[in-house]
Structure 1
Amino acid sequence: MKANVGGIDKILRIVVGIALIAWALLGGPVWAWIGVLPLATGLMGWCPAYLLIGLNTCPLKKD
């Protein structure tokens, strides 16, 4: 699994994921548990959907 989520994308995924999970915990709708997905992909830095569509928001690494 090569990282394909980076920078602002990663931060937004984590924030949105936490917000949705908090909403679900505070009595929000059951679908708010979908926040687990953006939180997990943000923390891992890898998104399977990005792999399928060929998208990569990670900056190029110079060696």
Structure 2
Amino acid sequence: MQINIGSAERALRLILGIVLVALPFLAGLSALWTWVSVIVGLVLVVTGVVRFCPIWALLGIRTGGRE
């Protein structure tokens, strides 16, 4: 697994992911939007932590790599 997420994108994914995971608990979203928000948030956090996005790999996109 090669790194394909750069530092700036990593920071953005981590921040946005944490916000999306916390949002349902702070805003009282409906059940459907709670699940959507938490799942998308967790995917962003995991891809930010491991610095690899499978969708970017399929599309041949690299925002980082040799850092």
Query: Structure 1 length normalisation: TM-score?
Result: 0.85
Shift of 1:7: 1.2
Larger helix percent? 2
**Who is 2:7 aligned against?**
7
Could you list the runs of 5+ residues in structure 1 that have no partner in the other structure?
A: none
Could you list the runs of 5+ residues in structure 2 that have no partner in the other structure?
A: none
Work out the number of aligned pairs and report it: 61
Q: Which amino acid aligns with 1:21?
A: V
Answer 1 or 2: higher relative contact order, Cα 8 Å, separation at least 6.
Answer: 2
Query: Structure 2 length normalisation: TM-score?
Result: 0.80
CA contact (8 A) 2:2 2:65 kept: no
Q: Which amino acid aligns with 2:12?
A: L
Structure 1 runs (4+) deviating above 6 angstroms are none
| RMSD (Å), alpha carbons | 1.4
**Who is 1:35 aligned against?**
41
